[in-house]
Chain A
């Protein structure tokens, strides 16, 4: 059903006869259309001026690569107020561990416009319980020692449901990038945090001034005040010119358009905190740090296997607690689990790519992955999570961030679909 670059490469190798057959049936949920004509190998059919621009100024991807983000089905974007809500990254087409900045998932507070901020006018203030309140220009921040780290971000709304078709639908609210900026601990030390401080309140400069409370211990540990993403300036949709990176915490803490950090002595329940309040401390704990989570991106919902034989099962694993140590795969619905190989570096709080050599026998089966992080915490199945909460599995909604195992069903005709019921 779905036609991915992976499938396309495979069928191109098989030659024109097969390709013709595939073209007849290929369609796509992610907006991909089959190539209607062969690529111009000599490039002569393009305007020479356009070609020069392509080679000189800012490179674009091939027009044959058409993987795109889509808004979540739960709310259209833009909505009737012109606001953009949550937009999903096309994980089914992903390779490696870095999400291209143009495909990075987008989530906004109540629905937002992307503000246009002139970086020369942007200011960042640290104040509250500090000895020396400070205001920085972007140029001043860039004079300070910076670090680059690879981290994922995941939205609490990344919750697979039975009606979802593709891995973009089920898991598309997570992405991973290289972030460059100044350690927040350096800035807080420069300001001099006072005794008795225990939280920070971070705030953006966009129209709603989105704001979250973050424990001071986390702020002093590994948070970054970022101006760079994947080797260039942050994208406006990701908070240009400045965003807070709170590694491993859910997306809402990664304040975009960062303009202010106030050091305080209590939890503030500010704009973004309010939407996530829960009377149960256990659920509250599951809405801060993201648990170990993984998903198979190939084969996944919408993919079409071209027949029995060898396939590399590929996917991503991540944890808010640190690095991924192990990923296991089952191809028999959970009866037996086998170690997958880690196919990328395993950075702390980062997507890690895994692979598993698989010979599909052409029979209907269910494939799943589960991961273990550096603390030894194992990603639970929905049944295990339901048992913990003492709830029946039927209709069970995982409290807090849902990090449960995702099943994909491979039918005997090679069609892959969501295995959640």
Chain B
């Protein structure tokens, strides 16, 4: 009888704890506004669900490539300059500068190597141009992405990139990435039977 009451008490306590885990314990920090979250959230999923409205074509991208200074570091042809190769070359242009580590050459040009076109958009949007990161407008990022995809033979020059078309681009290296076969778990080795 007594032990049963105790068990009931433990169960109620347990339920209370589950209940309390779903409401804040400390109440420290404030709730961001929807605008704040939108401004901060620059993550782009491979399915492109966070892509902003906007559009751009390879032709527009070709102009921006020069205007925004991309050509200054990556070269007018997109290869053979100091900064990583962006456009697969015919193999005849060789840089006079040492290739930066990690060295990006014809084999791992982003517009060919990336399994998803959204990754290129995200990379340009957050990381370029050097020293003016985060200043490109969505239209400009779409156009530059379209330019690189076209120059590497992934899309047609007439293709317009926007939040619908970009995630649908089938990248040549679509099967190029894998996750570990096992999900990470506390207290497990990284790869079973690896020496």
Interface residues of A (CB under 8 A from B): 72, 74-75, 79-81, 85, 109-111, 125, 127, 131-136, 140, 143-144, 186, 189-190, 192, 201, 203, 207-209, 211, 215, 217-218, 221-222, 259-260, 262, 264, 266-271, 274-275, 277-286, 288-291, 320-322, 375, 377-378, 380, 384-385, 387-388
Measured CB to CB, the closest approach of chain A to B121, in angstroms, equals 12
Verify B181–A127 contact, CB threshold 8 A. no
Closest chain B residue, CB of each to CB of A73: B101
Measured CB to CB, the closest approach of chain A to B48, in angstroms, equals 11
Verify B175–A385 contact, CB threshold 8 A. no
Closest chain A residue, CB of each to CB of B178: A281
Chain B residues within 8 Å of A135, by CB = 29-32, 36
- A269-B46, A291-B194 known; A377 vs B29 contact (CB < 8 Å): no
- A209-B126, A275-B102 known; A134 vs B29 contact (CB < 8 Å): yes
Verify A285–B182 contact, CB threshold 8 A. yes
The 10 closest A-B pairs by CB, nearest first: A285-B180, A277-B177, A380-B195, A289-B190, A134-B29, A75-B101, A208-B127, A281-B178, A285-B191, A74-B101
Q: Point out the residue from A134, A203, A274, A387 that lies within 8 Å of B30, measured CB to CB.
A: A134
- A209-B134, A211-B126 known; A281 vs B180 contact (CB < 8 Å): yes
Interface residues of B (CB under 8 A from A): 21-26, 28-32, 36-37, 40-47, 73, 82-83, 97-98, 100-102, 110, 114-116, 119, 122-123, 126-127, 130-131, 133-134, 175-191, 194-195
C-alpha spacing A28/B19, complex, angstroms: 63
Verify B73–A81 contact, CB threshold 8 A. yes
Verify B178–A284 contact, CB threshold 8 A. yes
Measured CB to CB, the closest approach of chain B to A179, in angstroms, equals 18
Mind listing 14 A-B residue pairs with CB under 8 Å? A133-B31, A133-B32, A134-B30, A190-B24, A207-B131, A208-B127, A209-B127, A211-B43, A215-B183, A260-B41, A269-B119, A274-B123, A321-B189, A321-B190
Verify B42–A209 contact, CB threshold 8 A. yes
Chain A residues within 8 Å of B42, by CB = 203, 209
Measured CB to CB, the closest approach of chain B to A309, in angstroms, equals 35
Verify A127–B190 contact, CB threshold 8 A. no
Q: Point out the residue from B22, B37, B110 that lies within 8 Å of A133, measured CB to CB.
A: B37
Verify A80–B97 contact, CB threshold 8 A. yes
Measured CB to CB, the closest approach of chain B to A45, in angstroms, equals 45
Closest chain A residue, CB of each to CB of B47: A266
C-alpha spacing A72/B22, complex, angstroms: 48
Verify A378–B191 contact, CB threshold 8 A. no
Measured CB to CB, the closest approach of chain B to A194, in angstroms, equals 11
C-alpha spacing A257/B115, complex, angstroms: 28
Chain B residues within 8 Å of A385, by CB = 195
Verify A190–B178 contact, CB threshold 8 A. no
Measured CB to CB, the closest approach of chain B to A216, in angstroms, equals 9
Closest chain B residue, CB of each to CB of A401: B190
- A285-B180, A285-B181 known; A144 vs B190 contact (CB < 8 Å): no
Verify B21–A270 contact, CB threshold 8 A. no
Verify B190–A291 contact, CB threshold 8 A. yes
- A81-B130, A209-B126, A277-B176 known; A221 vs B194 contact (CB < 8 Å): no
C-alpha spacing A375/B184, complex, angstroms: 15
Looking at B32, B36, B44, B179, the one whose CB has the most chain A CB atoms below 10 A away is B179
Measured CB to CB, the closest approach of chain B to A214, in angstroms, equals 9
Closest chain B residue, CB of each to CB of A375: B189
Verify A268–B43 contact, CB threshold 8 A. yes
C-alpha spacing A189/B21, complex, angstroms: 7
Chain A residues within 8 Å of B114, by CB = 274
Closest chain A residue, CB of each to CB of B98: A75
Q: Point out the residue from A140, A275, A378, A380 that lies within 8 Å of B29, measured CB to CB.
A: A140
Closest chain A residue, CB of each to CB of B99: A75
Closest chain A residue, CB of each to CB of B194: A388
Verify B195–A208 contact, CB threshold 8 A. no
Verify A111–B177 contact, CB threshold 8 A. no
Chain B residues within 8 Å of A262, by CB = 41, 43
- A133-B32, A321-B190, A378-B195 known; A127 vs B41 contact (CB < 8 Å): yes
Closest chain A residue, CB of each to CB of B42: A209
Q: A135-B32, A377-B194 are in contact. List 9 more A-B contacts (CB 8 A).
A: A132-B24, A134-B29, A201-B43, A270-B44, A290-B190, A291-B194, A321-B188, A375-B187, A388-B194
Verify A217–B185 contact, CB threshold 8 A. yes
Verify A221–B186 contact, CB threshold 8 A. yes
Chain A residues within 8 Å of B40, by CB = 125, 127, 259-260
Q: Point out the residue from A189, A288, A384 that lies within 8 Å of B190, measured CB to CB.
A: A288
Verify A134–B31 contact, CB threshold 8 A. yes
Measured CB to CB, the closest approach of chain A to B72, in angstroms, equals 11
Verify A322–B116 contact, CB threshold 8 A. no
Verify A282–B100 contact, CB threshold 8 A. no
Verify B180–A279 contact, CB threshold 8 A. no
Chain A residues within 8 Å of B44, by CB = 268, 270
Q: Point out the residue from A266, A282, A289, A384 that lies within 8 Å of B45, measured CB to CB.
A: A266
Chain A residues within 8 Å of B41, by CB = 127, 260, 262
Verify A282–B191 contact, CB threshold 8 A. yes
